[in-house]
Chain A
Amino acid sequence: MTPTTTADTTVAPTSSRGEVRLSITDVDAFYGRIQALRGVSLDVCRGEIVTLLGSNGAGKSTTLKTISGLVRTSRGDIQLEGQSIKRLAAHQIARRGVVHVPEGRRILRGLSVRENLELGAFTVRDGALRGRRLAEVYALFPILHERRHQDASLLSGGQQQMLAMGRALMHGPSVMLLDEPSMGLAPKLVTEIMRIIRRLNEAGTTILLVEQNARLALRLAHYAYVIENGAIRLQGEAARLREDASVVKAYLGLAE
């Protein structure tokens, strides 16, 4: 079976994927007069890693931003656990457990590693829980513990990515939106980051992963969508997409 193209054919049944946690239905988004998303629909089910693939400017980051409330949608709906979050402000969406790790990490320069992590747990009022989360993050990323008092801007790219993910974990997310976590990292670090994403997922976090590195993302994800010019062109189980060399080549331009 080949993966389905959504433009004309039916979507692969989601029943086999389990309970839908986050669903986007027919969403449009604009930057001024430029349309960035055209009727995008996608589902992320409980416990899954879903990856959204596509080239530069295809609308990957915009999709994440519409989910987290940073970009407003003009049409369609976004639901979390069956409830619409489309009209909520970004901070309200975050408080419902959807945490966005933005492209470029958005580390707070001039603040220490630890202060950056504490930002993640800002809404957690239980001090003991904050302490436990901090210990968990340090256990997952020992280098952050080592450098906890340093200015976060002194961290290397890979460490900054870990900090951004650690900060998101401090929040205790139920859904994590990861925007290009491998960007600009050395191959060894990319492997490390991917290993951590898998571990987080196994620990119960549902993940929507945006990547340019399709090969890597398809190895990690359960389900995948391909976006092109602001519209979903292709979707299917990651394992199937990976095997279908012709499709991958056509849509992702992988020459390997």
Chain B
Amino acid sequence: MADSTPSTPPDEERRGNAVQRFYAAFESPPRRRALHLLLLAILVVTPWLASQYMTVILTNALLYVVLCLGLNVVVGYAGLLDLGYAAFFAVGAYTIGILTQQFGINFWAAIPFALAAAALAGVIIGGPTLRLRSDYLAIVTLGFGEIVRFSARNLEITGGASGLSHIPEPTLLGWYIDSAIDFYYVFAVLAVLAYIASQRLFDSRLGRAWRYVRHDEDAAEAMGINRVAVKLAAYITGAIFGALGGIFFAVNLGAISPESFSFQQSVLILLAVVLGGMGKIPGVILGAFIVVLGPELLRDFGTLRLLVFAVLLLLIMLFRPSGIWPEKRS
């Protein structure tokens, strides 16, 4: 049929600049498998080579990987801005803290309750915000994050402003999970699970529904996609990732306080997701590592390190406005 637009051959357009080709090099299945094995090996070996201090930092980075992949489901997959994601992290941490420390429930038995509490929180935040768009949604989620933090600070059961301490360490088959290396491995397993779950979700029917709703929710609904259910599923999934991070965060530190779950925390997680590339799993993981390791690597700058870090972040966003490793090359 006659038409005015010249057709470009598909491969012409898929090529691109050097950075894009570099990323594309990882996308063939055998190379990906090789890369996975390599990264897994590095993940396993690292704590034996790194100092205790570095292991602790890396453990924190792995926690952020879990949190960022969770927020990525909400922000990257479903396109819903969330400025209060730390709330889900808090719900997981506090539920496990309260159940194990105050009610003496076994850690592993308490996990399902913590996850259920987070899922419920997901419904509570999701429900009223479903009809809101971008900026309104941002305000409501921000408010939700603050409500959770203020509740934690003012309730008796959460220990008020000083929080909960002496959260018992979990045991697994008689083995106490307590050293820095133990927790490194716990978070490594969580990060790998979060990675696999993210990948599966991305390829799933629900993942496609998120993609369609993110692009145009009216068009998606006109084709029979239930936008309410799909968005709720995104919040619940994100909440469960966040709560998992929170659960192990609480037992790792043994103490939690409301200040661990501030607005700044939410922003930092969102920053990592946006910096890395919303929706793109390797990008988000990279973002999590940069946000945690960046300030550590810049310690030589002394008091200026956060300023230098901020300038670096600005530069990254200037040169790669859709993230370091974005989902779509446009």
Contacts and interface: CB of A to CB of B under 8 A. Distances in A.
Contact of B225 (A91, A102, A156): A91
A122 B209 contact: yes
B215 A90 contact: no
Interface in A109-161: 109-111, 115, 118-120, 122-123, 142-143, 146-147, 149-151, 154-156, 158-159
A188 interface: yes
A100 interface: yes
A89 B215 CA distance: 20
B4 interface: yes
Contacts of A100: 222
A68 interface: yes
B222 A102 contact: yes
Interface stretch (B5-13, B183-191, B196-204, B295-303): B5-13
B49 interface: no
A94 B218 CA distance: 12
Given A109-B215, A122-B208, A143 B223 contact: no
B214 to A, nearest CB: 9
Nearest to A164: B219
The winner among A92, A150, A155, A192 for most chain B CB atoms within 10 A is A150
B154 interface: no
B212 interface: yes
A106 interface: yes
Nearest to A142: B1
A154 B29 CA distance: 28
Nearest to B5: A156
Contacts of A154: 5, 8
Contact of B218 (A92, A102, A118, A151): A102
Given A106-B216, A111-B211, A94 B222 contact: yes
A20 interface: no
Interface string B1-29: 11111011010010000000000000000
A174 B226 CA distance: 20
B3 A110 contact: no
A167 B3 contact: no
Interface residues of B, number: 28
A151 B7 CA distance: 12
A99 interface: yes
A95 B3 CA distance: 34
A119 B224 CA distance: 9
B328 interface: yes
A118 B3 contact: no
A143 B2 CA distance: 10
Interface string A164-188: 0001000100000000000000101
B96 to A, nearest CB: 37
A156 B3 contact: yes
A190 interface: no
Nearest to A120: B223
Contacts of A120: 223
B28 to A, nearest CB: 17
A167 to B, nearest CB: 7
Nearest to A188: B2
The winner among A90, A109, A188 for most chain B CB atoms within 10 A is A90
A189 B215 CA distance: 27
Contacts of A151: 330
Contacts of B328: 110
A255 to B, nearest CB: 28
A91 B219 contact: no
A70 B223 contact: no
A142 B2 CA distance: 12
B1 A119 contact: no
Given A94-B223, A109-B215, A171-B223, 14 more contacts: A70-B221, A89-B226, A92-B224, A94-B221, A99-B223, A108-B212, A110-B215, A110-B330, A115-B211, A122-B208, A147-B7, A156-B5, A159-B5, A167-B223
7 contacts: A70-B221, A70-B222, A90-B218, A95-B224, A110-B330, A143-B1, A143-B3
Interface of A: 68, 70, 89-92, 94-95, 99-100, 102, 106, 108-111, 115, 118-120, 122-123, 142-143, 146-147, 149-151, 154-156, 158-159, 167, 171, 186, 188-189, 192
Which 10 A-B pairs have CB atoms at the shortest separation, nearest pair first? A94-B224, A123-B224, A108-B215, A156-B5, A106-B219, A90-B221, A95-B224, A91-B226, A149-B10, A91-B221
